[in-house]
Chains A and B, each alone.
Chain A
Amino acid sequence: MTPLLELRGLGKRFGGIDAVRDVSLSVAPGEVVGLIGPNGAGKTTLVNLITGVHRASRGAVIFDGQDVTRQWPHQAARRGLARTFQVVQPFPRMTALENVTAGALFAGAAGSVAAARRQAGALLDRVGLGEEAHKPAAILTLPSRKRLELAKSLAMKPRLLLLDEVNAGLNSSEIDDAVALIRSIAAEGVTLILIEHLMKVVLSLATRIVVLHQGALIADGTPAEVTADPRVVEAYLGAKFAQRQAKALVGVERA
C-alpha cells in the first residue's frame, strides 16, 4: 500500500543546531503512530516541518504521493493534514462554535458559512462541548480548550491528524475521555500521529511507536519492541519503566 505520509531524510537546522536530522519515516493509511522522545528531541519541530510551519533544510515530505515539502500551512490544512497545538491556539474572542466553524469552512470545504456552523455544532456535541458552544473560547477551561482544539481539527476533515500533546495538563478522568475520543477518531479511518509524554496513553492507542532523540529517529517498531529497546530505555523511558514493563509483559504471557 502506498504510504499516506513519507518523510525522506528530513532535516531542519536553526542556526548551529540540528533540531531534526535525517528523519525518514513512512506512515500507512489508518495507522496510529506514537511519536515519543525527551523534551527538546525535535518532536514539535517535526510536526512543524510536516505541516509547512517550518521549511525543511534538507529532505522531503511526501503526502499522498505528492511532494509537499514547500507548502504553506493553509495548503497543508486544505490537503487534509491537520494538527493540534501543544499550546492551544483558539480565536479568543470568537465563540467555541465559531472556532470550529472556521475549521469546517476553510479546510473542511463546507459549502457555506451556514453549512460549516451545522457541522461545527455536531462536532462540539461529539467532543462534549455542546453546552459551551456559545461561550467565547477565551473563558473556557484548559480541558475544554483542548477539546475545542480537537473539534476544530476534526472539522477540517483531516486524513492525517497530528496531535501534539492533547493530554498535557489534564487529570486522569479527563485523559480517559480524551483517549476514548482519540480511539473513535482512529476508528473512522483517520491516520494519527500522537505526540505524547504519557506512556499509558501511547501504549493504549498506538499500533506503532517511533522515538526521536536529539533530532534523530532512534527506534521504530511495535510498542513491545520499542519499550524493550535498550537505546530507548536509556534515552527516554528510564530503567524503572523497563522493569515494570518487563514484569507486565511476563504477567501477560503467564495469563
Chain B
Amino acid sequence: MSPSNATALLVWILALAATPLLGDNYVVKIATFVAFYAALALSWNFIGGMAGYPSFATAAFVGLGSYAGALVQNAGAPLAVGWLAGALASGLAAVALGAVVLRLRGHYFAIGSIALVEVLSLTASWWSGLTGGGEGLNVAFLPGGPDTIARVFLYVMLAIAILALGTTVVVMRGRLGFALRCISQNEDAAEMVGIPTTRCKIIAFVLSAIPCGAAGAAYASWVAYIAPADAFSILLTVKVPVMVMLGGAGTLIGPVLGATALVLLEETVWARFLDLHQAILGGVIVALIFFLPGGLVGLARRGRST
C-alpha cells in the first residue's frame, strides 16, 4: 500500500468516525451509508475487480445475511451473534453457489449471479412460515435513544468496512491476489501455470459474500424490518459494481472512493430529482463505460503519467 493511499484511507476512516461530533443524525446516517456501501464495494472487488468475474450477486448475499441475522436475533441471540450469523450464512452460501455459477464465464456468469438474487428473493417470499413471506419480518429494536442507535450502526458498518479493507490489503499482497489477477486476464493460462483456478474463484466469491452478509444483518437490525423486495434489491446489486467501476476496479482505494462519491452524489444531487433517480444512475453507467474505463483511480494515474 502506497503512503498516499494509506493516508487517504486513514483520513476517510477518521472523517466517518468523527461525524457524530461534527453533525446531526442526518450526517451520521449518510456516513453510515457510506461505510455500508464501501463494505459492499470492497467485497465486490474481490470477485468482480480482482478475479474479473462480473458478479451481480451482491444483493443475494446482503439479503441472505439480513434474513439469517434477523432470524437468529429474533430467536433471542445477542446482536453481534446475529451479525456473525449473517456473515456465516452468506459465506457458506457462496461456497455452495459458487461451485455452480463459477463454472460459467463472462456474460453467462453475470446472468447466473443475478439469478441467485431472484431465486433467494422468491424463496424468502414463499417460505412465509420462516420469513414472514411478502409481509416481511420485524426485527427487535435496539434499546437506547436515536443518537445511540445512530452511532452504534455507524461504528458497526465502519468496522465491517475496515475488516473488508484489511482483507483486501492482505489478499492483494499475497499469492491469492496474484492468482486472481492472472485469472482475470487469461484463465486458461492461469490454470496452466499451476493456479487452482476453481478454488481461487470460490475463495474470492466467499470473500465477496462475507462482508455482504454481515452488513446485511447489521442493516436488518438497524431498520428493524426487512421484506424480500428490499433485502434482495436488484438496484443494490447493480449499484455496487457501478461504485467499484466509478472508483477503479481491482484497486484498493477505488471501491472506497466510488462508494463515497456515489452515496454523496445521491444525497446531494439526486435527492432533488426524485423522479429521475434511476435515469441518472443509468447515465452514470453509460458515462463510466465511455469515458472512465479505469475509474477515478485510473483517471488520477493517467493525469500523473502525462
Contact = CB atoms under 8 A, between A and B. Distances in A.
Interface of A: 51, 72-74, 77-78, 83, 85, 89-94, 101-103, 105-108, 113, 152, 156
Contacts of B105: none
Contacts of A91: 181-182, 185-186, 189-190
B191 A72 contact: yes
Nearest to A137: B185
A73 B194 CA distance: 7
Given A91-B182, A113-B178, A156 B194 contact: yes
A105 B178 contact: yes
Contacts of A108: 194
Contacts of A102: 178, 182, 190, 193, 195
A77 B194 contact: yes
Contact of A92 (B186, B188, B191, B197): B186
B174 A106 contact: no
Interface string B188-213: 11111111110000000000000000
Contacts of B186: 89-92
B94 interface: no
B175 interface: yes
Contacts of A103: 193-194
Contacts, number: 63
Interface in B160-184: 173-175, 178-179, 181-182
A188 B174 CA distance: 31
Given A94-B181, A106-B194, 14 more contacts: A51-B192, A77-B191, A90-B189, A91-B181, A92-B186, A102-B190, A105-B175, A106-B175, A106-B179, A107-B194, A113-B173, A113-B178, A152-B193, A156-B193
B190 to A, nearest CB: 8
A74, A77, A152: residue with the most chain B Cβ atoms closer than 10 Å: A74
A89 B192 contact: yes
Nearest to B175: A105
Contacts of A90: 186, 189
Given A72-B196, A103-B194, A89 B178 contact: no
